[in-house]
Amino acid sequence: MLSSRPLANGGGRALFHKLESQMNEEWRTYLSGEAPHLDVSAVMVTYRTGVSLRESIPAVLSQSGLTELIVVDNGNDDDTVGWLDRLASGDDRVRLIRPVRNVGFAAGCNRGAAAARGQTLAFVNPDLILPPDTLLRMGEIMSTHSDAWLFGGRLLNMDGTEQRGGRREILSPWRAFVELSRLDRLFPEHPYFQRLHRHEDEDVHDVVEVPTVSGAFMMIRKRHYETVNGMDDNMFIHFDDADLCIRIGHAGGRVMYCGSVPIYHYLSTSDVPRTFVEWHKTRSTSYYFHKHFRASYPLWALTLTSALLWLRFALITAKVGVGDLKLLLRGLYSGRRSNPTAPATKK
């Protein structure tokens, strides 16, 4: 199951100082000049996030160019709720949105975006640590790539290695099969057997166009987000970013991976049952495949794919169900607020 855990590397503040000392001379020279005007509304969707939230939010609030931080609180423990209330009362840049139930990640992002006052949206997971001046660096890239719509950073594990999911191909049923079976190892040069994830490819420290970036951190001009009607509310968690990237491409936009902008991602800090994560992941994946590939795959193939996905879910449930039931009962007993059945943060 997923659970909160102590954060490594001496905490976010120590990490900030380390990252600041590693900034290259070219960027230091840029910062000494006139920085681009930014008007960024950061949107953070949180559900039982755990202790990483108390590192992630200060990192966002320390960013130059930030107009506001909109926190969509889909459900947290009483201590976190109180901490968020005190934070909002002491900083008028912090705005809280509390749905009456856990609406999920995509719908939470849409609610935050609808309330945003800034011209640029930054979607930030509550288990991310943004190094100093991340928004400024992204803003500069956005200003020099005006024909692109969506921008993602270089997702890193806390040890500095590139994290899976930051740059991807378009997810199709066939590519999902190749990724799971690792057929790419048998045919590494064949275009039909390329992996979904590209984090093990050659390192990229520049700005390049890619099919898909991670929804854990994305920046987009609000007008472009509204052009494609935001994320799909039908996708509670998982693959909402892949869906958004496809629709941006259909609308004439480009998706850019900013390899020069590091983003540190703890991953999976929410204290929630794994079975409910997998339920919504399976549902979203099946929905995504039917939505985007009905014209290119026969119905029987999509139906078979969905059946295999639900079989996988059943096997996972059989393995972890008892432990998840204990976690669910513990959450109910402790009197935690909101719907305890599914997380609203991206994994």
Are the C-beta atoms of residues 224 and 244 closer than 8 Å to each other?
Answer: no
CA distance 97 to 102: 11
Q: What value does the mean pLDDT take over residues 269-276?
A: 77
Q: What does each C-alpha distance from 308 to 36, 174, 316 come to in angstroms? A: 49, 13, 12
DSSP assignment of 182-210: TGGGTSTT-GGG--SB-TTSS---SEEE-
Predicted local confidence at residue 192, as pLDDT: 85
pTM of the model: 0.84
Are the C-beta atoms of residues 53 and 80 closer than 8 Å to each other?
Answer: yes
Tokens matching residue 217: 């951190």
Are the C-beta atoms of residues 285 and 323 closer than 8 Å to each other?
Answer: no
Rounded to the nearest 10 degrees, what angle do helices 105-115 and 240-250 cross at?
60
Residue 132, burial from CB neighbour count under 10 angstroms (0-12, 13-18, 19+): middle
Predicted local confidence at residue 345, as pLDDT: 46
Give Cβ neighbours of residue 310 (< 8 Å, ≥ 6 apart).
282, 286
Phi–psi pair at 107, nearest 5 degrees: -65, -35
Q: What does each C-alpha distance from 54 to 139, 166, 174, 176, 211 come to in angstroms? A: 25, 23, 40, 35, 32
Mean pLDDT taken over the chain: 85
Q: What value does the mean pLDDT take over residues 200-223?
A: 94
Task: Name the pLDDT band for 182 (thresholds 50, 70, 90).
Answer: confident
Helix spans in the chain (H): 12-21, 25-32, 53-61, 78-90, 105-115, 134-144, 173-181, 222-227, 240-250, 274-293, 299-333
Predicted local confidence at residue 341, as pLDDT: 43
Nearest alpha carbon to residue 166 among 132, 125, 225: 125
Nearest alpha carbon to residue 116 among 202, 33, 44: 44
Q: Which residue has the higher pLDDT, 173 or 9?
A: 173
Nearest alpha carbon to residue 181 among 189, 193, 198: 193
Task: Name the pLDDT band for 2 (thresholds 50, 70, 90).
Answer: very low
The CATH number that domain 12-265 falls under is 3.90.550.10
CA distance 6 to 269: 9
Q: What does each C-alpha distance from 101 to 10, 16, 108, 234 come to in angstroms? A: 35, 34, 11, 15
Task: Name the pLDDT band for 241 (thresholds 50, 70, 90).
Answer: very high
So where are the chain's domains?
12-265
3-state secondary structure of 261: strand
- According to DSSP, the β-strands at 255-265 and 207-209 are antiparallel
**Residue whose tokens read 């204290």:** 271
- pLDDT, tens digit (0-9, with 9 covering 90-100), for 52-105: 999 999 999 999 999 999 999 999 989 999 999 999 999 999 999 999 999 999
